Amino acid sequence: DPSLIVWIGRLEPYKRAGDLLESLPEVIRSIPAARAAIIGAGSSRLTLEQRVRELGLEASVTFTGFVSESEKVEWLRRAAVTVNTSEKEGWGMTVIEGNACGAPSVSSNVHGLRDAVRDGKTGLLFPCGDTGALAQSLIRVLGEEGLREDLAAQGLVWAQRFEWDRVADDTLALI
């Protein structure tokens, strides 16, 4: 889906899903068909749903709640781009999962995520909390001729590095 933005994670304050909501009006002004799916459950859901109503985004945002692994993969396969707005991450697993499904990532430039996203190659990084920069990054990925396709192609190659057997062998060698 050329206009679907997918956010996956626990709906907790430090994950900053609200940053995506704050950026969406600007994104929709440039890409009218843009819409977002927020996948996950957590303590922030009611607050986020209220913010969607305040921003008038009911027709553009879907909350799925918790989904099975197979449903998550289906969402990632449909996504034009994934977003990770978290202020801290140990590792960007959903970034790599998205890359493996052909979806580049727009992610906060924080530890863990900056390790998972190769900025300008497999996705784009933006300063954490900067909703204007997030909006501009999404507009670029959704609207700039060929950019999404280039990021997706490089993301597929990047994601292939992260198979469990290889990671286990590398970890054993390090130990």
- pLDDT given for residue 166 in this prediction: 80
- pLDDT given for residue 34 in this prediction: 98
- pLDDT given for residue 167 in this prediction: 76
List of residues 6+ apart from 38 with CB closer than 8 A:
7, 11, 17, 20, 48, 61, 62, 63, 64
| CA atoms of 153 and 146, how far apart (whole Å) | 11
Spacing of C-alpha 151 from chain mean position? 13
- pLDDT given for residue 171 in this prediction: 83
120: region left, alpha or beta (phi > 0 left; psi from -120 to 50 alpha)? left
- pLDDT given for residue 107 in this prediction: 98
Q: What is the mean pLDDT of each run of 10 residues along the chain (175 residues)?
A: 96 98 98 98 98 98 98 98 96 96 98 97 98 98 97 97 83 87
Q: Are 57 and 27 in contact (CB under 8 A)?
A: no
- pLDDT given for residue 163 in this prediction: 83
Q: Are 85 and 16 in contact (CB under 8 A)?
A: yes
